A = this chain, B = another copy of it.
Amino acid sequence: MKESTICPRLSKAMELIGKRWTGLILYQLLEGPQRFNEIESALPVSGRLLSERLKELEKEGLVVRHVYAEVPVKVEYSLTEKGKGLKDAIADIEQWSKVWLS
């Protein structure tokens, strides 16, 4: 890697968004809290990567994980305020896709 003139915060943001599945997972969670299997069914992502991405997003504080001690166990993921803060950006991407993609 080399020196760069770019803002480290923007860089970090792009690193988050610019990681496979992250955008779609956030988009999905904007609908409201959802369980692991719901997200897995809604997106063409495997359990392995979904698990990995959710851990990253939780670590970065965009997502919270809530475990319900039911049987079988129920785990719900939802967006924090920080996560919801990306709503506009995601809505813009969605809008762009409607205008520019066939």
Q: Which residues of A contact B (CB under 8 A)?
A: 1-7, 9-14, 17-24, 27-28, 41-44, 82, 85-86, 88-89, 92-94, 96-102
Contact = CB atoms under 8 A, between A and B. Distances in A.
A75 to B, nearest CB: 20
Nearest to A18: B23
Given A82-B100, A86-B93, A93-B86, A27 B42 contact: no
Copies of this chain present: 2
A10 B97 contact: yes
A100 B21 CA distance: 21
A62 to B, nearest CB: 9
A48 to B, nearest CB: 13
A3 B42 CA distance: 8
A94 B6 CA distance: 11
Given A5-B42, A22-B18, A88 B92 contact: yes
Contact of A17 (B1, B4, B18): B18
A100 to B, nearest CB: 5
